[in-house]
Structure 1
Amino acid sequence: MPEPAPALRMSTAAGRGTLAAAVLASGMVFLDTTVVNVALPRLGAELGASVAGLQWTVNGYLLTLAAFVLLGGALGDRFGRRRVFLVGVVWFTVASVLCGLALRTDWLVAARFLQGAGGALLTPGSLSLLQASFHPDDRAKAIGAWSGLSGVSTALGPFLGGWLIDALSWRWIFFLNVPLAVLVVLATLRWVPESRDESASRTRGSGRQARRFDVAGALLGALALAGVTYALVDAPGRGLRSPAVAGAALVAVLAAVVFVLVERRRGETAMLPTGLFGSRLFSVLNVFTVLVYAALGGFTFFFAVYLQNVVGWSALVTGLALLPMTLLLLVGSPVAGALSAKIGPRLLLTVGPVLAAVGLLLLREVGPGASYWRQVLPGVALFGVGLTMVVAPLTASVLAAVGDRFAGVASGFNNAASRVGGLLAVAALPLLVGLSGSGYEQHAPLTAAYRGALLWCSGLLLAGAVIAALLVRRPQGKS
């Protein structure tokens, strides 16, 4: 049976309530993606965490969020988008409370794994609810409002988190999700209609259902990411030749190989149809995505810790230091997207990473007693301008590189690729720059590691620029 025609309008209470639920829920996920970096020095000191503990605090969340986000969308299509969305909100909130109550680093890391899994359930649901529920005439307006308001939550994350950390405790960046979640649940129960893909839920064994409900693919992808992350994070402490590190690396390789074989065998019924990579542009753009977002993830991980533990700034001032970057993204992304549609993506995807790399090279020279206006703002602003030139053109180009029927899975994979880039950078950079143990609390080791990490991040951005200049072309049609 076909799905009922969507009927919500923006002018109605139900329409506004549905939009509010989607925005608040996605805002929680985006908030916890950005705000934790600002809290790392405080929670590390209070819990006695090592560098590896800080890495896992960030990466535990990114790993499960990246690995299961496609599966989360499939669960909503099959079992009901509102139902799975509500499960994700409650799951995410309970995990947030566990994070806030953590008394040990391993407790916090385990809760962050759970939190990422909850985010994987609610993130695709927040957007698919709008797509499925609103009248076609209001759908674009609702999705545009969701994008803008969700971006505001991302912009406010470091500032709000810094204020909570200084005024109360790092634990309140997690407890804040509780009142937000209560509002989301109430609004969802009151106004959000249920919807599902009837063909996926009723047609057992069909290709369409199998493609959208590929549990094996999701688990193999998660195992590959977990193995490589564990190997990179634990290598400084255990050594590259230790059985645990070597075993984790071997598991990662085997899981990745089996994942490719399983997805190739399933063809178009796979969670990630390997035929997508027959489009050279799609493949190139996702390699570019990993490089750029690895630079972003590595920079934000080191920058927030360095500003507090070496420069001596408070959590609030650190959050404010990052604010211009996000504001530039909010204001400039629509302009960059329109310009890319007019002239093609190659120029923007080439120049943007170069500007961002120059911004990071400027920020390498920041030291104790640094002036925000003279030494920090120029680098942050230049990095933000470069990133703004990349984000919207990249997303539009990824979607244009594949057929319309694969738009959802292509967008989901590119989103996962961006998170994987950040995850790998946070896992690998401390190993590459020689930061381990309690080195993040000591000026000399942290300064050397920070400057080395930003050099690596600049190199990743410049590699992305070269790839864009040589291999990216304006999409000529759907594949």
Structure 2
Amino acid sequence: MLLATCISTLVVNANTSAVAILLPAISEDTGMSVDTLQWAVTGYSLVGAAVIVTSGSLGDVFGRKRVFQLGLLLFVASCVLIALAGSGEVVIAGRMIQGAAGSTILACGLSLLTVANSGQEQVRAVSLWGAAAAVGAAAGPLVGGVLVDVTGWQGLFWLDAGIAVGCMLLTAATVAESRDPDRPRSIDYLGSVLVALTLAPLILALSKGGDWGWVSAATLVSLGVCVVAGIAFVAVERRVAVPLLDLALLRNRVLVGSTVAILIGAGTINALMYVLSLYFQDPSALGFSPLEAGLATLPATVGLVVVAPLVPKLAAKVGGREVVGIGFLLTTIGFAWVGLADSSWKYGAFLLPLVVVAVGMGMSNGPASAASTACVPVDQVGAASGVSNMARYVGAAVATALAATVYSTVTSNQVADGQARSEALASGLAATSWLMAVFSLAGVAMVVVMGRRAREARGTLGDSAAAAAAHTHTLPTTATGHAEPATT
């Protein structure tokens, strides 16, 4: 079980972080513009946000092994669909299916581990799962770059499909079924649909508003649908027996502050990786190959994972909210630094600001994630974890769509005004980075919202693993107030 769940989460997170590196190659093969192909990234996160809590509920009711296996099967099918795709539209559709599959694998895989183990074995299993998630997210861009050069962009999806089939066989042979007999069988399907209906038109408006006009009928209608769906979601969540989002949790100031901090952190790092992947590979900018671009992003991805495990002990000494504030301040400085970029910058000029961003992200993610589960009673840890995990997907979807719009709009406008393409691309990157700096500065304000009421993790090895995985998934820590991680 440990092997199957850890390998599957590693593959899912590697796949997720690798796709931005593949977009120029996919665009060249399918003829679809990179601006439109950003839906392969944002669509994945959109569907993941809608499904991640529901898939955990399905596992509790119908069997965690069964739903985990269905997630793996859906992941294999989506990989095959994408690898065989002859058009960008099929790639985007496959990635949306993959968003549902990935969130299901993560939610049910972790649930299988926590239910099947107890005491120190549970801590060890969850810690290894968290480490696998962190390694996968860090290695994805490099693996994607290698495979594009060696096999073509389809190679990543064929490899992932093969590994997922192996996980299915291993799970079928070795994992026992489990479910929660005490949980009500009611599942909030409508809530999941309304989450998607809220996010989809918002992302559409952010993506196309520049072309349509920000006050055009199409943009306003999209935003109107978003608002109506959001209001309907709140109304539904007040009435269903087992809501997707327990609205009572939103009265918890610490949870709200930490969740917004998680959303900002996930959004800005995903937006950064998306834009840098395009900028590094553009012939008018640095002109890197996919492999070189994957290597170039390592300071941001690996640096984040390396720093994160050191943070819990620091937070235990000086306070989690203080570490979160310092982390967001560093990311603000790093993004503002990249905001000074011009066409004369070589890769060496990006290196130090990327390290600053990575260190800041590593410092803010872990304590914010720990606070989100430490500020609620033990019986609400799973619900709080679900809220923060949904926030990650929402942040990634919205921030990436916004970054893609700013980057492409500034670039195209400057080219239309007669600027050299290299200068226009640098201006697009700078504008996007300044926007991410503003978001990161808003993250500093979340320190005030979080207050001091959350318990601090003690800085154990398990806490370090949870911190390393914090940019991909919330794991309970010693700050939850009991010795063992709670079932999520």
TM-score by length of 1: 0.88
1:340 counterpart = 2:315: yes
- Counterpart of 1:390 in structure 2 is 364
- Counterpart of 1:279 in structure 2 is 252
Equivalent-residue separation in structure 2 for 1:209 and 1:399 (angstroms):
25
The AA in structure 2 aligned to 1:236 is: G
- Counterpart of 1:246 in structure 2 is 220
Within-5 A mapping of 1:330-409: 330-366=305-341, 370-372=345-347, 374-409=348-383
Of the candidates 273, 277, 280, which is equivalent to residue 307 of structure 1? 280
Other structure's SS at 1:270 match: coil
The range that moved more, 133-142 or 84-93, is 133-142
Within-5 A mapping of 1:12-51: 18-51=1-34
Q: CA deviation at 1:94?
A: 0.6
The range that moved more, 104-113 or 290-299, is 290-299
Q: Per the alignment, do residues 84 and 440 of structure 1 end up closer, same or farther by CA in structure 2, a change over 3 Å counting?
A: farther
Q: CA deviation at 1:362?
A: 2.8
Within-5 A mapping of 1:69-218: 69-200=52-183, 208-210=184-186, 213-218=187-192
- Counterpart of 2:386 in structure 1 is 412
Supply the RMSD in Å over aligned alpha carbons: 2.3
Equivalent-residue separation in structure 2 for 1:311 and 1:364 (angstroms):
16
1:472 counterpart = 2:451: yes
Q: Per the alignment, do residues 439 and 148 of structure 1 end up closer, same or farther by CA in structure 2, a change over 3 Å counting?
A: farther
Contact 2:148/2:291, CA 8 A, preserved across alignment: yes
Equivalent-residue separation in structure 2 for 1:118 and 1:188 (angstroms):
16
Q: CA deviation at 1:271?
A: 1.9
Contact 1:364/1:454, CA 8 A, preserved across alignment: yes
Contact 2:259/2:368, CA 8 A, preserved across alignment: no
The AA in structure 1 aligned to 2:359 is: V
Equivalent-residue separation in structure 2 for 1:438 and 1:172 (angstroms):
32
Within-5 A mapping of 1:56-71: 56-71=39-54
Other structure's SS at 2:85 match: coil
Q: CA deviation at 1:50?
A: 2.5
Contact 1:158/1:319, CA 8 A, preserved across alignment: yes
The AA in structure 2 aligned to 1:40 is: L
The range that moved more, 238-247 or 316-325, is 238-247
- Counterpart of 1:9 in structure 2 is none
- Counterpart of 2:200 in structure 1 is 226
The range that moved more, 362-371 or 339-348, is 362-371
Equivalent-residue separation in structure 1 for 2:261 and 2:112 (angstroms):
30
Equivalent-residue separation in structure 2 for 1:270 and 1:253 (angstroms):
19
The AA in structure 1 aligned to 2:29 is: E
Of the candidates 457, 475, 479, which is equivalent to residue 436 of structure 2? 457
Q: Per the alignment, do residues 435 and 130 of structure 1 end up closer, same or farther by CA in structure 2, a change over 3 Å counting?
A: same
The AA in structure 1 aligned to 2:252 is: S
1:53 counterpart = 2:36: yes
Q: Per the alignment, do residues 191 and 135 of structure 1 end up closer, same or farther by CA in structure 2, a change over 3 Å counting?
A: farther
The unaligned stretches of length 5 or more in structure 2 are 416-420, 456-478, 482-488
Of the candidates 293, 299, 314, which is equivalent to residue 324 of structure 1? 299
Q: CA deviation at 1:432?
A: 4.0
Q: Per the alignment, do residues 42 and 439 of structure 1 end up closer, same or farther by CA in structure 2, a change over 3 Å counting?
A: farther
Equivalent-residue separation in structure 2 for 1:394 and 1:285 (angstroms):
5
Number of aligned residues: 451
Equivalent-residue separation in structure 2 for 1:471 and 1:276 (angstroms):
14
Equivalent-residue separation in structure 2 for 1:22 and 1:271 (angstroms):
24
Contact 2:255/2:450, CA 8 A, preserved across alignment: no
Contact 1:236/1:436, CA 8 A, preserved across alignment: no
Q: CA deviation at 1:130?
A: 0.7
The superposition leaves residues 153-185 of structure 1 with CA deviations (integer Å, 9 ceiling, x where unpaired) of 222111111111122211212222122112101
The AA in structure 1 aligned to 2:309 is: P
Equivalent-residue separation in structure 1 for 2:176 and 2:449 (angstroms):
47
Q: CA deviation at 1:294?
A: 2.1
Q: Per the alignment, do residues 195 and 225 of structure 1 end up closer, same or farther by CA in structure 2, a change over 3 Å counting?
A: same
Equivalent-residue separation in structure 2 for 1:439 and 1:60 (angstroms):
26
TM-score by length of 2: 0.87
Equivalent-residue separation in structure 2 for 1:439 and 1:176 (angstroms):
40
1:446 counterpart = 2:421: no
Contact 2:142/2:294, CA 8 A, preserved across alignment: yes
Contact 1:224/1:256, CA 8 A, preserved across alignment: yes
